[in-house]
Structure formats: structure tokens, C-alpha cells
Structure 1
Amino acid sequence: MIKKTSIQIFEEKKVRSVWNDDEEKWYFSVLDVVEVLTDSANPTDYFKKMRKRDPELAEYVGTNCPHIEMMTPTGEKRKTIAGDTVAIFRIIQSIPSPKAEPFKQWMAEVASNRVDQMQDPELSIEQAVMDYKRLGYSDNWINQRIKSIEVRKSLTDEWKRCGVEEMQFATLTDIITRTWSGKTTKEYKQYKGLKKRISATI
């Protein structure tokens, strides 16, 4: 199962997501969706109360919303509750928010863009540039980031060609990073204050 983690942008707010190549669909962070639609300072508590008030929703979420690894704001990977488009639409029905309909349209656009990007990879880079600009990054930072993504992709493509399993990519990356920096990838990111943002895949 190949999963690609990304951060989508809805009205200047981040929504973590994972593209599942096997199922060919997005999984979105439920808590990020709740936060976007409710502006709650504690989306975890808000969602917990939602499920408590609505047993049917609680049962649906338990059956249809798996826990998937996504990046935290500190750059660590942790499992969080996630839902595909159908599941997110069901959850949205239980949230009284004027943003509900615009958010549904946005999700449809995200899905459509992914199909277009699979047919034309350059569109994926263009989307990343636009997202970075919306987040306020300088052109120089964006250029460096895109170059690093391209280098990373070339490296992983070569590893695949040599028969390296994807589960070994992180280990190889750690070895490379430790060789020139003396730190693991995680330690180096913490040292530099770097956080994975948009369309970054490990």
C-alpha cells in the first residue's frame, strides 16, 4: 500500500491528508476538518462531544474512519483519525457550519486535481508553488524547496530501480543525513526548525 502524505489548504487553513495509491482516494484528518469548519480551539474535544451526542455517528466513525499516520505540527508522525471523502461528508452533516458546502466543493476539487496531476506531474509542482505562496514563503525559499523535492524524487526513483523496498527509504535517508550533518533526519529538522508543509513525501 503506497501512501503519500500532503497538506491541503482550505481558506488559508491546513488540512492534513494522505493519498492511498491502492484505493486511489484521499484520506483527510478528521480533526483538521472539524477545526476548519468550527474554528474550535480544541477540535479533539469538540469531536468527542459530537460522537457522544450522536451514537449513530460514533458507530459510523468507528467503522469507517481508520487511524492513519500523519505529520504533527512538530514534524513527528503520529496516527490520527482519518476519513475518505464519503466519511468526511457524513461527518460534515453533523456540523452546523456555513463553511460546510464550500468545504465539500473544495474536497471535490482536491480529488479532481489529484487525477489531473497523475496524468501531468508538472501540475503537482505548480500546485505546491501556489500553496507555498499562500502560506507566505519567499520565492527563493519556494525554489529551494521545489529543488529539494525534485532531488528527493530522483533519489527514490533510483532506489526503486535498484529494488529497494519503500519501507527502507526512511532508513537510507537517515544514513545520508547523518553522514553529512551528524544527525538523523528527525534531529536535523528539529535543529533547523523545519516542518514538512505541502506535497512533501517521505
Structure 2
Amino acid sequence: MKKQDAIQLFEDKKVRTIWDPTVEKWYFSIIDAIEALTNSDRPRKYWSDLKVKLKKEGSELSDKIGQLKMQAPDGKMRLTDIADTEQLFRLIQSIPSPKAEPFKLWLAQIAAERLDEIQDPELTIDRALEQYTQLGYSESWINQRLKSIEIRKALTDEWKSRGLKEGVQFATLTDIISKAWSGNTTKEYKILKGLKKENLRDNMTNTELILNMLAEASTKDISQATNPETFDENVEVAQQGGNVAKVALKELESKTGKKVVAALNAKQGVTQNQREEKKKDK
């Protein structure tokens, strides 16, 4: 099973994490944890000094710290020092901070929540709803995004039932669907929106999400109706599913006179919504 990246929020501070299903452990970015605990504007220097201090005290903890690739602020995947929950608890003891106890409770909650989600996958949706809200997305966008997750899951389940493989085959079919309705592959779409490693769907407008859902739902329905047996036959189905959404896109654009596929990404959209809300309050 693949490791899963995630952003956890502690008091509005982002902490990069990776869930390893093999050992059922969360791994946390130490730099992010230190920044959240200390509000230091130089968390890397703080961590470097702390490692020296731990070695002088005879602690072997810093020697046991591993590294994993996580997304850096510039969007690139870079190796960063990580700690599991137990290691992070021990590090916190060496960091004087009034946030130490709340952070420990937060760590324990994160660990417990993940185990709960394994038993009840619906909790994952509830958690996503909470995090999208904290990040400033509108309620209507969040509703569309959560629905898109459900539809995507139904499509990938259909692909799996056809014997298709995750990875290259899923990515190829996804690109075909996207190109058919939007005129862009996933990579081209991300370039249009100025994205790097960010999730494309997290940066679609409401209308883009709806049309993408229509394309993926149509692909799933056509697949169930036609029972494709080969990869080439699934490619044809993906093209047909994307074309259903393309018809809707063209009809909408003809009625509104506006292009649906936009360069606007979610970060810009959130900022724009916040500005509009401020104007209303004045």
C-alpha cells in the first residue's frame, strides 16, 4: 500500500504528515511541528540547535530520526526530517512552549482519528469537511468537492473491477477524460492554474468540479453498460464519458458567453471571496 500525504492543522498552523499503512503510523514533519510549537521564524535553525543539545545530553533520539520526501513551499518534493508520534512526544519534552500540552493532545487525537477512519471510512469525509472549512473554502464548494470524491471513488472501483491497474493506466484514462471535456490533460490543467504539486480538484471552481464529476460519472455508467474488456476499450469509454461533459460545457458557454475552464485556482478564489465578504460588511 502507498504512503498517503496529508496536511494536518494545529491552531491554523499547517503540519505536513504522511500515513504509512504498512506500519499504521503517522510521520510528522519536525520542522512544521517546531514552528507550530514555538512560532519561530527560523524553525530549521531551531531544530539544528536542538539536535546539538540532545546529543550533548546523551540522547540518541536525533540519531533515530528518519527522512521522507514531503512537499516543500515551492511545490517540490524534498527530503525532510520526520518523527512518528512517540518520537515527537519525546521531542516536545525538550521544547519549552506553552503549547506543549495542547500539541500533545492534538497528536493523540490525530492518531486516534486515523484508526477510527480505518474502521469507518465515512469519517474521512467528515474530517475533510472540517479541514476544507478551516482553509477558507466556501460551503457550496466544499459540498461539490466532497461529492467529487465519492464519484471518483465509484469510477476507480469500476476500473478495478475491469482489471485495470492503479498508476499508469488510471492516470492515462483520467487524462483522456479530462482532455475530452476540458481540452486539457491533468498536467496542462495544472499549468493553466499555476499549480505544481497541489491537487487539481482542490483548485477547480464549482462549475469545473461539476463538469468533471459529470465526465467521471458518465464514464462509470457507460463502462457498466458496455462492459469493456480490454484497455483500448476502456480508453474509448473514457473518451465517451468526457464527451458527455464537453457537450454540457459548450452549451453552458454558449448561454453565458464565458469560458468555464479558468486559470483561477482555489487559493485565489478563497482570497477573492474574503474580499467580497469584507465589502459586504462595510
TM-score (norm 1): 0.81
Pick the structure with more strand per residue.
1
Residues 130-187 of structure 1: per-residue CA shift (max 9 Å, x gap): 1111222101221232233333333443444455554547853774477356666455
Quote the offset at 1:61 in angstroms: 2.5
Determine the C-alpha separation between the residues in 1 that align with 2:177 and 2:77.
18
Q: Secondary structure at the match of 1:14?
A: strand
Q: Which runs of 5+ in 1 are unaligned?
A: none
Q: Secondary structure at the match of 1:6?
A: strand
Deviates more, 1:69-78 or 1:10-19: 69-78
Q: Secondary structure at the match of 1:41?
A: coil
**Aligned AA (2:192):** Y
Structure 2 contact 54–61 (Cα < 8 Å) conserved: no
2:25 alignment partner in structure 1 = 25
Q: Secondary structure at the match of 1:54?
A: helix
2:230 alignment partner in structure 1 = none
Structure 1 contact 71–196 (Cα < 8 Å) conserved: no
Pick the structure with more helix per residue.
2
Alignment pair present for 1:60 and 2:61: yes
Determine the C-alpha separation between the residues in 1 that align with 2:183 and 2:46.
42
**Aligned AA (1:14):** K
Residues 38-76 of structure 1: per-residue CA shift (max 9 Å, x gap): 10112112111111232168742332x221222233443
1:123 alignment partner in structure 2 = 123
CA pair 68-174 structure 1, distance change in 2 beyond 3 A: farther
Deviates more, 1:49-58 or 1:164-173: 164-173
Which entry has the higher C-alpha Rg, 1 or 2?
Answer: 2
Greater RCO (Cα-Cα under 8 Å, separation 6 or more) = 1
Identity of aligned residues (%): 49
CA pair 108-88 structure 1, distance change in 2 beyond 3 A: same
Determine the C-alpha separation between the residues in 2 that align with 1:8 and 1:62.
25
Determine the C-alpha separation between the residues in 2 that align with 1:170 and 1:29.
30
Deviates more, 1:110-119 or 1:139-148: 139-148
CA pair 81-153 structure 1, distance change in 2 beyond 3 A: farther
2:190 alignment partner in structure 1 = 189
1:72 alignment partner in structure 2 = 72
1:121-200 equivalences under 5 Å are 121-168=121-168, 171-172=171-172, 175-176=175-176, 179-180=179-180, 185=186, 188-193=189-194, 195-196=198-199
Structure 2 contact 164–170 (Cα < 8 Å) conserved: no
**Aligned AA (1:192):** K
Determine the C-alpha separation between the residues in 2 that align with 1:57 and 1:75.
37
Deviates more, 1:96-105 or 1:42-51: 42-51
Q: Secondary structure at the match of 1:27?
A: strand
Aligned length: 197
Q: Which runs of 5+ in 2 are unaligned?
A: 203-282
1:89 alignment partner in structure 2 = 89
